[in-house]
Amino acid sequence: MTHRRTETDQRRDANMRDLYQRMMDTRAEGRFSSVIAHAQGVTKQIEQTYRKNGVLDGKHGEAAFQTVMGKYMSNASLDPEYLDSSSPKEAARYQHMVFDADDKGHLREEIAEQAKIIEQDQQQSRGGGARAIPERVAAGPER
């Protein structure tokens, strides 16, 4: 069964990509702290590894990576907009969550799943693509 994603789902994913981008742009904006530097280092390390291993290859690999990493940043309460309230504890939590998910293979799975979701969203927004028809409906009414 495919789950039709709502505008709220799509907006949340866009917000996660935005959070990722804001964090990665923080140094360029001059608002910088050791907490964000640490988190950026973790993110860059994972990104380089995944680039080298081909995880980010594919149609939506980059956007999927940004969405998933934004989700991890949010879950660790890391937000470059609120550097004053960020602590080294949050950066350490982020690092632990990301590396733990990577070790268990969950991070790669989440990125692959997110890439599929992005593709489905694009197909739905274009109003096309093959839509799955449940077998029960395709077979006709039951008697």
State the pLDDT at residue 137. Answer: 46
- Can you tell me the mean pLDDT for 47-62? 91
DSSP string, 9-25: HHHHHHHHHHHHHHHHH
**Residue 18: left if φ>0, alpha if ψ -120 to 50, beta else—which one?**
alpha
Kindly give the interhelix angle for 61-75 and 7-29, rounded to the nearest 10 degrees: 80
> If you average pLDDT over every residue of the chain, what do you get?
80
Q: Which pairs count as long-range contacts for 7-14, CB under 8 Å and 24+ apart, including other chains?
A: 10/121, 13/67, 13/114, 13/117, 13/118, 13/121
pLDDT digits (tens, 9 = 90+) for 79-115: 767 655 667 788 888 899 999 999 999 999 999 999 9
State the pLDDT at residue 110. Answer: 94
- Can you tell me the mean pLDDT for 61-71? 92
Q: Which has the minimum average pLDDT: 65-69, 102-106, 122-126?
A: 122-126
Contact (CB, 8 A) for 72 and 91: no
The rounded percent of the chain whose pLDDT value lies above 70 is: 76
Task: Answer yes or no: is pLDDT of 119 > 70.
Answer: yes
